[in-house]
Amino acid sequence: MKLTILGCYSATPQVHTNPTAQILEINNHTFLIDCGEGTQVELRRNKVKFSRIKHIFISHLHGDHCFGLAGLISTFRLLTREADLHIYAPKGLKEVITLQMKLSASWTNYKLIFHELTASTSEMIYEDDKVEVYTIPLDHRIYTNGFLFKEKSGDRKLDMNAVLNADIDVAYYRKLKQGADVPDNNGGIVKNESVTRNPKPPKSYAFCSDTAYNEAIIPIIKNVDALYHESTFIEKNKALALHSKHSTAKQAATIAKKANVGQLILGHYSTRYDDLSAFKTEAQAIFSNVELAQDGKEFNFN
């Protein structure tokens, strides 16, 4: 599992800072999370292959999280994309994008499938044999979801030496990977754990932006390997956080601690701060494993 930060600043794009967008590579998927203005350029700068993106998750309809989407959809069209594109976003975005395509007479030549989100409780919005994605209802000024991405547990690994020694017919290997005890070629039964090993533990990632301090998310994100939690402000501006339904670094760290996550990644910084070190210091006073997101920074979780 690998996370690439394309943009991690709030409000408006500036010359050296980009609004929210990130790429999560998880079990052979390349998920785009949020798509602020300029995201398609940041995808190019970070050498993300456009054709790998088949699912886009949009947290909410403030411009710094979605104003790059129309341009990206249009660029996919110009690149003669054929693969379906799934977009998971609050209800309303489909109407905007459809209107923009109509007015520019630029319908996509690929299938654009909107999954409009309206639920106020966590729901599974994507599942295949490798990953599951759930919404994380957040507390912001407009309807907003974070997203929880979970690898599914893989098959058990065969210990090939042990398997060959146990004299098991190849036809049973699949059963072994699924965890079953199987017969050997001599009329005996082979205990599964004697010839297989546990698969790599599945990883999980929670994206939580934008939100006020909200303990309701703790049961949903409990024990995730990595939590990206917005921290628009530091403590001296906590009144602004309260007013605008954002979080401080300390609040993000408090959530991380209470949810017992593996690692906390801070981001969605207000552009008022020239120096981000206070974000880390204030968060680490609560929870030790803190990293600062930066545009272009990669996080590897393997």
| 67, 114, 172, 273: residue in contact with its own copies (rule CB under 8 A) | 67
What's the burial of 23, exposed, middle or buried (CB within 10 Å: 0-12/13-18/19+)? Answer: buried
Question: Mask: binding to its own copies, 92-121, rule CB under 8 A, as x and -?
Answer: xx-xx--xx--xxxx---------------
63 counts as binding its own copies under rule CB under 8 A: yes
State phi, psi for 87 to the nearest 5 degrees. Answer: -125, 125
Nearer to its own copies, 95 or 128 (CB): 95
Residue 14 beta carbon to its own copies: minimum distance, rounded to whole angstroms: 6
State phi, psi for 148 to the nearest 5 degrees. Answer: -110, 120
Residue 50 beta carbon to its own copies: minimum distance, rounded to whole angstroms: 10
218 counts as binding its own copies under rule CB under 8 A: no
Rounded to the nearest 10°, the torsion over CA 71, 149, 49, 144 is: 10
Report the 10 Å Cβ neighbour count for 180.
Answer: 13
Give, as ranges, the residues between 141 and 170 that touch its own copies (CB under 8 A). 141-142
For 14, 194, 247, the CA distances from 64, given in Å and listed in that order, are 11, 53, 16
241 counts as binding its own copies under rule CB under 8 A: no
DSSP state of 165: H
Nearer to its own copies, 15 or 239 (CB): 15
Q: Look at residues 45, 118, 82, 30 and name the one whose alpha carbon lies nearest to residue 297.
A: 45
Cα-Cα end-to-end distance for the chain: 6
Nearer to its own copies, 99 or 216 (CB): 99
Of 59-67, 175-183, 235-243, 278-286, the segment contacting its own copies by CB under 8 A is 59-67
Query: What is the token pair recorded at 288?
Result: 């030790």
DSSP H/E element including 232: none
Whether residue 84 lies in the annotated active site: no
- What residues have CB less than 8 Å from 221, skipping those under 6 apart? 136, 146, 148, 206, 208, 227, 255, 259, 261
Nearer to its own copies, 71 or 154 (CB): 71
Query: What is the token pair recorded at 124?
Result: 């599974």
The site for its own copies, by CB under 8 A, has a size of: 35
DSSP H/E element including 253: helix 249-258
Active-site hit among 64, 129, 159, 169: 64
| 27, 52, 61, 181: residue in contact with its own copies (rule CB under 8 A) | 61
DSSP state of 114: E
Of 40-48, 157-165, 184-192, 289-297, the segment contacting its own copies by CB under 8 A is 40-48
Give, as ranges, the residues between 9 and 28 that touch its own copies (CB under 8 A). 11-15
| 71, 202, 262, 296: residue in contact with its own copies (rule CB under 8 A) | 71
Active centre residues (catalytic) = 64
Residues that bind its own copies (CB under 8 A): 11-15, 37-38, 40-41, 44-45, 61-64, 67-68, 70-71, 74-75, 78, 90, 92-93, 95-96, 99-100, 103-106, 141-142
